[in-house]
Structure 1
Amino acid sequence: MIPFIHHVSLLTRNSSANQSFYIELLGLRFVKHTVNQDNHRMIHDYYGNYYGAPGSVITFFIVPLLGQRYDNDHFLSTIGLKIPKDSLPFWKTRLTEAQISFEQRENKLYFFDPDQIEIHLIETDLPFLEEKYQVKNDIPGDKQILGLLSTEFHVVEPKKTLAFFNRLLDWNSSDQRIYLNDTDFIDVLPSVSQEKSRMGRGSMDHVAFAAADDQALDALYEKAKSLNLVIEKIVNRGYFRSLYLREPGGNRVEFATVSPGFTIDETLEDLGKSLALPPFLEEQRKEIEKKIYQEK
């Protein structure tokens, strides 16, 4: 399978502002409203294309009392999103009308979300989304966001992080950039400070890369063990199975299977409309709903 970014997961404290930006402005679909499976009191929201297909998904953990983030010795940053050919003028107009300040560099627009997460919209030569993946909103189908394109790893010693991806996945780099496919990439950049980072509003908790299936994920797990890499856990999330590792710089990296997807507990038409719980959490629904953090 050709490598690609499966999803990215971040932290926010204000779900209404977050939804306004990613759903109303950027035009993503609300594909899953669920809970953090490691802390059932915390809401976990997913946005993506109409199907919530891997490669289109941005997720947020909602933490009401979340403080300021400090990006120092190690952190993940930026959400790069690809848009179709000839769609840049549309997005410039849309951002301007929404009073979102942006900078244009060639075929790229740079701006920030309400939590000061840097967003890159990058026009590609790719065609627009197939109709079945298009979200039903006010953005024309031939202008809608295609999916994830890039993100950044900031670490004290980039060479060690680049070597991690090479040893585990045979991914090669050029000028601290790893190309995953013809358009998508990750940058591994030197940290500007060696002080400790602190997670907060807008922090990226992890970046997830796609694994073809259970067998591919299990093989990756065995290889990570043989290389004595820092393994956090391998776990079934219901919507996909996940392997979590720590790269040498300290950032969390996930590998997630591309199936079964978000329709295991909701119909495609009803995605994101109510609190969804994968089957193994459904029997705990009453207790979970009672203890969910309330936004301040």
Structure 2
Amino acid sequence: MYTISGHHHISMITKNAQINHQFYQRVLGLRRVKKTVNQDDPSMYHLFYGDLTGSAGTELSFFEMPIAGRTTRGTNAITQIGLLVPSFESLIFWKTRFELLGVKHGEITTYAGRDALHFEDSEGLRMILLNNNGEEVPENWSAWEDSIVEQKHRILGMGTIEITVRYLHRLAKTLKDMLGYAEVSRSDKEAIYQSVAGQSFGEIVVKQKEGPSEKPGKGSIHHLAIRVKNEDELRYWDEVVKERGFESTGIVDRFYFQSLYFRESNGILFEIATDGPGFTADSTVEALGKILDLPPFLEERRAEIEAKLAPLD
């Protein structure tokens, strides 16, 4: 039986790609590793940020939607993104940095058993810096040495992801029985699941909350992608998803990785994505994120696509 090896990437909505780029590269110190378009709607940018090469497990991705309104927070949504930093001292560094740069943030606290610092980007996307406390990270992660943030405090990659739903038991069954996550804690209203034992880079916190579903807008989270090695494993999971009674998109070639998508019973959208071939499929490491890259099936429409996109530094 195959297993899920952690988070792959997470995708959000931004209203303004230029402001988004400034925050994630100039404030958080991440590298923009791919400037491309939404393959299903190439009129909008799709930006990826991460480590040196945008390794699986480090990728934050954004669809630019200039007409996006305000997010109305609610249940049945992915509600917070954890990002790992090296140490408790890193949290102190980031708190001071956020104060200097006017980033909305809280006090240093704890979350899912780790020292934590909650903050938001300029569009209200909720994130949490988590103390990795010197623990191991996936061997494929590699630091971007040109980051504006000094090495000892840089963001390492994705940590605990929070999902809020009306029916915790339904998502619990999907994570445990279908995807093989281990349940490491459980109460009436909250549970924690891990795809890799003891590691937050594959951890999901599920919270139960009544009320209306979240209305997405700028700063909302569209879907969580979880990680598999290759297309053979993806075919296996495609069958598992269908046998469970969920509707699968089947395998979709995203050029930089292969994927399938499904919604669980609360309506949360999951993607299962392969590690490769990765963002260097059409770029050198040095050139990542600097020009508009298009998958081969869109290349012949480059002039049309570029004409509809606002220039982006």
- Which residue pairs with 2:295 in the alignment? 278
Matched residues in 2 for 1:137 and 1:64: separation? 28
- Which residue pairs with 2:129 in the alignment? 121
Matched residues in 2 for 1:101 and 1:258: separation? 33
- Which residue pairs with 2:93 in the alignment? 90
The correspondence for 2:205, drawn from 187, 192, 195, is: 187
Matched residues in 2 for 1:196 and 1:93: separation? 35
1:110 aligns with 2:118: yes
Q: What is the TM-score with the length of structure 1 in the denominator?
A: 0.93
Matched residues in 2 for 1:200 and 1:233: separation? 27
The within-5 A match list for 1:158-177 is: 158-173=168-183, 174-175=185-186, 176-177=191-192
- Which residue pairs with 2:20 in the alignment? 18
Matched residues in 1 for 2:209 and 2:239: separation? 31
- Which residue pairs with 2:267 in the alignment? 250
Amino acid at match of 1:72: G
Amino acid at match of 1:48: G
**What is the CA-CA distance between 1:179 and the residue it aligns to?**
1.9
1:156 aligns with 2:166: yes
Query: Secondary structure of the residue that 2:273 maps to in structure 1?
Result: strand
**What is the CA-CA distance between 1:271 and the residue it aligns to?**
0.7
Query: Secondary structure of the residue that 1:257 maps to in structure 2?
Result: strand
**Structure 1 spans left out of the alignment, 5+ residues:** none
**What is the CA-CA distance between 1:62 and the residue it aligns to?**
0.4
- Which residue pairs with 2:149 in the alignment? 139
**What is the CA-CA distance between 1:243 and the residue it aligns to?**
0.8
Distance change in 2, residues 1:144/1:198 (3 Å) = same
1:41-95, CA deviations, whole angstroms, 9 ceiling, x for partnerless residues?
1110000011110111100000011111223341111110000124222222222
Q: Which deviates more from structure 2 when the two are superposed, residues 259-268 or residues 226-235?
A: 226-235
Amino acid at match of 1:105: T
1:221-242, CA deviations, whole angstroms, 9 ceiling, x for partnerless residues?
0111122212234201000000
Amino acid at match of 1:122: L
- Which residue pairs with 2:54 in the alignment? 52
Count of residues paired in the alignment: 294
Q: What is the TM-score with the length of structure 2 in the denominator?
A: 0.88
1:215 aligns with 2:223: no
Percent sequence identity is: 34
- Which residue pairs with 2:73 in the alignment? 71
Matched residues in 1 for 2:104 and 2:68: separation? 25
Distance change in 2, residues 1:190/1:108 (3 Å) = same
Amino acid at match of 1:276: D
- Which residue pairs with 1:43 in the alignment? 45
Q: Which deviates more from structure 2 when the two are superposed, residues 2-11 or residues 238-247?
A: 2-11
Q: Where do 4+ consecutive residues of structure 1 move more than 6 Å?
A: 127-131
Q: Which deviates more from structure 2 when the two are superposed, residues 236-245 or residues 18-27?
A: 18-27
1:8-46, CA deviations, whole angstroms, 9 ceiling, x for partnerless residues?
000010122211211111100010010001111111000
Distance change in 2, residues 1:89/1:105 (3 Å) = same
Distance change in 2, residues 1:159/1:51 (3 Å) = same
Distance change in 2, residues 1:187/1:236 (3 Å) = same
Amino acid at match of 2:162: E
Q: Which deviates more from structure 2 when the two are superposed, residues 284-293 or residues 254-263?
A: 284-293
Matched residues in 2 for 1:61 and 1:135: separation? 26
Amino acid at match of 2:272: F
Distance change in 2, residues 1:158/1:127 (3 Å) = closer
Matched residues in 1 for 2:297 and 2:281: separation? 11
Amino acid at match of 1:99: G
Verify the 8 A CA contact 2:180 2:195 in the aligned structure 1: no
Query: Secondary structure of the residue that 1:231 maps to in structure 2?
Result: coil
Amino acid at match of 1:183: Q
Matched residues in 2 for 1:140 and 1:77: separation? 29
Verify the 8 A CA contact 1:128 1:141 in the aligned structure 2: no
Query: Secondary structure of the residue that 1:270 maps to in structure 2?
Result: coil
Query: Secondary structure of the residue that 1:122 maps to in structure 2?
Result: strand
The correspondence for 2:280, drawn from 263, 272, 293, is: 263
